[in-house]
Amino acid sequence: MKKKIPKLLMKSLNTEPEFNEESNVEDIEIKKQDISPDIEKNLETFKKIFTVPDNADVKLREFTIQQLNRKAFLLYISTMADLQNIMAGIEGPLIDSEHPGSKIKDIVSYPIEKTSTNIGDITEFIAAGVTALFVDGDPDCYLFETTKIRGRSIEKSENEVIVKGAKEAFNEKVIDNIALIRKKIKNENLIVKTQTISKRSRNTVFLVYQKDLVNEELLQNVKERLKSFETDSTIDLSILEQYLEERPRSLFPTIVYTERPDRACAFIEEGHIILLMENSPSCLILPATFWAMFHSPEDHYLRAPYGNFIRILRFLALFVACFTSPIYLAITNFHVGMIPPDLLMAIAGTRERVPFPSIIEVLMMELAFELIREAGLRVPSPIGPTIGIVGALILGQAAVQANIISPIVIIVIALSGLSSFIIIDISMNFAIRIARFLFIFTAGFIGIYGVTALFIGGLFYLVSLKSFGTSYFAPMTPHSFSSKDLLIRHIPVKERFRPGYLKPRDMVKQRKG
Amino acid sequence: MKQQSAKIGVREYVSIAVLMVGTKATEDTPANLYSQVQNAAWMIPLLSAGFFFIPLYLLIKTMSLYEGKDLFSVIKKILGKYLGFMVCLVIFIINSFAVSFDTRTYTNIIRSFYFTTTPTLIIYAILMFICAYGAKKGLQHIGSVSYLIVFYAVVSLYVALWLGTKHANINSMFPLWGPGAFVLVKEGAQKVTIFADFFLLTMVLPYLKSNKAFKKGTWFSYIYICIQISMSILIFVCMFDESLGGTAYPFHTLIRYISLGHYIPNVEIIFFIIWIMAAFIRFTAFLYINALMFGNLFKIKDFEYLIPSLATIYLMVGFIPEAPINVSLQFKPIIWSTAGPMFAGISILLWLVALIRGEFKHAKNKNIM
């Protein structure tokens, strides 16, 4: 009731114009029909659908099948199909085969994928790179799986760099991606399920999970969510991510986006669900917790002490990235007593000739750092090193000499900027960087009290976040059974359980003895 | 997706209790106790815990008759509709004033020690805003946040106390009995208010995983907190001696006093951060419990929506006293001397009525069947 009234109000204020689809009503009607046995009619229909003489890469080849003495035509998209195979396996034998035979199946050497009669279906197949063969007098159309899509080969992971462990990364071909996962999990229980999620461009999502591990309720939940949105096209996994998330406006991510197959496999083995899509060099892992974003695969590849060392370092970096500039601001503005007198003198001395209040100074420098960072990402690699020079010399040295920034601010910003690179997950990285600005504002407003208030408020917000029913800080709190791989990880022998918050069908990952 | 409210576990419950009651050692309680019984103040928490143990035990025993019911439902069930309502209303009102004056006390601490030039209203409003926001998120999330920070809060308290012992003189705790054993017992009985929060925590029983978890959590935190408060007061006594009576907020004086070596003279901000986090949790839990009570009294199902308005009312009530001194000398003593004994009385009353009405026998028979 209490939510209804504002909703009604919003509706009356915010009217959306309604548009009816009018572009291809005729085509939609045609696609519902079946093909006719008369080849001339089919030829006409498909020429119209694919706009044949104008559409350069759609190849239509008419010929006569010698043995049957019937007219036929092949239709395929040359950029999507394997031309050599079509020549050798389909076209060649059809035109001049010496074997006596009466069926198409006996003539061509290419395995027939299937036959179809519906025009809409055939169109869909052809668009995906399948070759269609129409024969005069035949009520069926023969479809040959000739798809060959070009793409990048499997390369090194570039955004999630690690020193020890597998280097290969996902690429844009989903077949390769699935193969990479299959290569690591050789188990018949690994299921790859497809689901079409958009109407017009017919994008398919591949759900990958272990049948005997994944929680049925979670799986159902994910499937329903995938079905729930009606959209014409979802071209990339990162857009799908935003459709899937419960709070797309939130600062903090609730789905892990990774390009590393080894990471994906580790999560599948724990009972998570992986989503893959054609054209996306990555995968989505759900549900995800704070810890999934915070950990790096390297933590597990290194020996326990080393792995824990970098984890603690990362935890420290998280705080440094978030809080150095706010704390600097708060202490120099509100709690000067905390600074040892000598240091205070030094700070005051350097700040003497700077005309701005320190919050402006910090904000300017933070902004400059973010600019350098974004520019560094987009800059063409031959002039990459220039960015370093610009950043260090012009913004650092010169700003200090021009008395715009005091040297200590440079130290503070450099420290917090450097620390922010340690968080490997790109979304989490953004969350931390933006949160830092919020903290800076509160620190400028009311010092450490404001920072702490925002921190506690933020914690309340974070613990209330849910990713497909999983709390953000699970299994730490609310507590559930797990192998306690949170801040500190144990040696692999001790990690015997899957995380309890997933309610996997098999909790124990490693039995004793 | 609808988010169902999950139940909280023992860990979260204990964390809430520790942060809620444990912070008492860091406000004006020690000074208050010192002014009554001088250097034996550290014994009062132990004595009070002993005195309050019996009512609390009886209350929990009575509560266990009604599996999964909260305090107010039990009161209404045992004392009848009208009398029960009156008792509940009184508890709610006392608790409301307690929240108002406690939040004001904390605002005073923040203002007088750390933000001397900031208007009280701004500090107060931020405190109430964050608490209302947290309380609206629900008990499970309060529990989660307290679990995340309780470790740091407790450790930082001990570090502060340990650093404080360097300036302490153990002789200050003598004469051991202070003004005499009789006065101690009398004061100890009156100051059971320190543990009155445990009485209120029985409100959240239905939100716990099981009655057993509740019992375990309550006793564990009860014993831990009485030791913690008593130990902190002992260190304050040893540190400040006579002057403790005049030191309104000894914990904050202590953290100003201590230093990390010679080079970092003022470390109070570090402890302040963690202390204020604990304070936020304390009042968030308080606000939530009050909203729960209010919802229960007037049969409002979605009581979470009341929290912002309740917080505003508490802010306005807490803003009435003009000066900090008024809060600690005029308003708080009323609550101090009434709340604890009264809650203890209600607990015993409930048990007695239940006993007379034969509820215990009834429950026993049911179990046998």
What DSSP letter does each residue of B243-292 carry, written as one string?
GGGG-S-HHHHHHHH--BTTTB---HHHHHHHHHHHHHHHHHHHHHHHHH
Q: Is residue A1's pLDDT more than 60?
A: no
Any chain B CB within 8 A of the CB of A463?
A: yes
A456/B126 CB distance under 8 A: no
Q: Is residue A28's pLDDT more than 60?
A: yes
pLDDT recorded at residue A100: 67
- Phi, psi (5° rounding) for residue A68? -95, -15
User: Cis omega before residue A478 (within 30°)?
Assistant: yes
Pairing of strands A190-196, A204-210: antiparallel
pLDDT recorded at residue B2: 40
A340/B265 CB distance under 8 A: yes
A456/B281 CB distance under 8 A: yes
pLDDT recorded at residue A284: 94
pLDDT recorded at residue A484: 85
Of residues A356 and A98, more confidence is placed in: A356
Residues of A within 8 A of B148 (CB-CB) are 459, 463, 473, 476-477
What is the C-alpha separation between B230 and B224, in angstroms, rounded? 10
User: Span B143-147, mean pLDDT?
Assistant: 93
pLDDT recorded at residue A99: 67
Of residues A113 and B61, more confidence is placed in: B61
Residues of A within 8 A of B275 (CB-CB) are none
- Indicate the helix (H) or strand (E) that contains A466: strand A466-467
- Phi, psi (5° rounding) for residue A230? -105, 110
Average pLDDT for chain A: 87
Q: Which residue among B115, B140, B280 sits closest to A447, beta carbon to beta carbon?
A: B115
Residue of B nearest to A330 (CA): B269
In three-state secondary structure terms, A103 is coil
B9/A456 CB distance under 8 A: no
Q: How far is CA B196 from CA A143, B37, B91, B190, in A?
A: 79, 20, 11, 11
A459/B140 CB distance under 8 A: no
pLDDT recorded at residue B157: 92
Q: Is residue B143's pLDDT more than 60?
A: yes
Any chain A CB within 8 A of the CB of B330?
A: no
User: Span A181-191, mean pLDDT?
Assistant: 92
Q: Ranked by mean pLDDT, which of A33-37, A358-362, A398-402 comes out on top? A: A358-362
Residue of A nearest to B278 (CA): A456
* Residue A429: exposure state from Cβ atoms within 10 A (0-12, 13-18, ≥19): middle
* Chain A residues 323-362 with a CB less than 8 Å from chain B: 331, 334-335, 337-338, 340
Interface A-B: count of C-beta contacts within 8 A? 104
The nearest CA of chain B is from the CA of A246 a distance in Å of 8
Is the separation of the CB atoms in B244 and B31 below 8 Å? yes
What is the C-alpha separation between B266 and B256, in angstroms, rounded? 6
Q: Which residue among B3, B138, B145 sits closest to A459, beta carbon to beta carbon?
A: B145
Residue of A nearest to B5 (CA): A464
Q: Is residue B132's pLDDT more than 60?
A: yes
Share of chain A above pLDDT 90, in %: 33
* Chain B residues 53-72 with a CB less than 8 Å from chain A: none
Q: Is residue A513's pLDDT more than 70?
A: no
Three-class secondary structure assignment of A156-210? ECCCCCCCCCCCECCCCCHHHHHHHHHHHCCCCCEEEEEEECECCCCCEEEEEEE
Q: Which residue among B134, B140, B266 sits closest to A478, beta carbon to beta carbon?
A: B140
DSSP state at residue A283:
E
Q: How far is CA B299 from CA B69, B128, B302, in A?
A: 15, 25, 9
pLDDT in tens, A163-179: 888 889 999 889 899 99
Q: Count of residues for chain A?
A: 513
Q: Which residue among A451, A452, A460 sits closest to B137, beta carbon to beta carbon?
A: A460
What sign has the CA pseudo-torsion A499, A504, A506, A509?
negative
What is the C-alpha separation between B358 and B349, in angstroms, rounded? 14
Q: Is residue A361's pLDDT more than 60?
A: yes
Q: Count of residues for chain B?
A: 369
What is the C-alpha separation between A171 and A158, in angstroms, rounded? 11
What is the C-alpha separation between A308 and B316, in angstroms, rounded? 49
Query: Could you tell me which of B53, B323, B317, B94 has the C-alpha nearest to residue B192?
Result: B53
Any chain B CB within 8 A of the CB of A466?
A: yes
Residues of B within 8 A of A5 (CB-CB) are none
In order, the DSSP letters of A339-366 are: S-HHHHHHHHHHHTT--S-HHHHHHHHH
User: Span A203-207, mean pLDDT?
Assistant: 90
Pairing of strands A204-210, A273-277: antiparallel
pLDDT in tens, A85-126: 888 888 888 887 766 667 777 778 777 778 888 888 888 888
Q: How far is CA A18 from CA A12, A13, A21, A22, A228, in A?
A: 15, 15, 10, 12, 21
Which range among B34-38, B202-206, B321-325 shows the weakest confidence by mean pLDDT? B321-325
Q: Which residue among A2, A452, A464 sits closest to B141, beta carbon to beta carbon?
A: A464
Residues of A within 8 A of B11 (CB-CB) are 477, 479
User: Span A387-392, mean pLDDT?
Assistant: 75
B263/A453 CB distance under 8 A: no
Any chain B CB within 8 A of the CB of A471?
A: yes
The nearest CA of chain A is from the CA of B274 a distance in Å of 8
pLDDT recorded at residue A264: 94
A456/B267 CB distance under 8 A: no
Angle between helices B120-137 and B81-113 (to 10 degrees): 130
What is the C-alpha separation between A87 and B350, in angstroms, rounded? 93
* Chain A residues 293-322 with a CB less than 8 Å from chain B: none
What is the C-alpha separation between A11 and A17, in angstroms, rounded? 12
To test the contact with chain B by mutation, choose from A254, A439, A456, A482 the residue with the greatest count of B C-beta atoms within 10 A, namely: A456
Characterize A340-363 residue by residue with b for buried, 16 or more Cβ atoms within 10 angstroms of its Cβ, and e for exposed: eeeeeeebeebbeebeeebbebbb
B143/A453 CB distance under 8 A: no
Q: Is residue A22's pLDDT more than 80?
A: no
- Pinpoint the alpha helices (H) of B114-169: 120-137, 139-165
Any chain A CB within 8 A of the CB of B9?
A: yes
The nearest CA of chain A is from the CA of B130 a distance in Å of 6
DSSP state at residue B233:
H
Is the separation of the CB atoms in B72 and B294 below 8 Å? no
What ipTM does the predicted assembly reach?
0.93
Query: Could you tell me which of A165, A122, A128, A166 has the C-alpha nearest to residue A149?
Result: A128
What is the C-alpha separation between B336 and B332, in angstroms, rounded? 6
Angular region, B178: left φ>0, alpha ψ -120 to 50, beta rest: left
Q: Which two tokens stand for residue A131?
A: 């070759």
């119209």: which residue's tokens? A48
pLDDT recorded at residue A11: 72
- Phi, psi (5° rounding) for residue A59? -105, 130
């063969």: which residue's tokens? A133
């003539």: which residue's tokens? A107
DSSP state at residue B206:
G
| Residues pairing with A277 in the sheet | A205
The nearest CA of chain B is from the CA of A320 a distance in Å of 15
In order, the DSSP letters of B315-352 are: HHHHT-SSSHHHIIIIIHHHHHHHHHHHHHHHHHHHHH
Share of chain B above pLDDT 70, in %: 97
């923040």: which residue's tokens? B110
B126/A453 CB distance under 8 A: yes
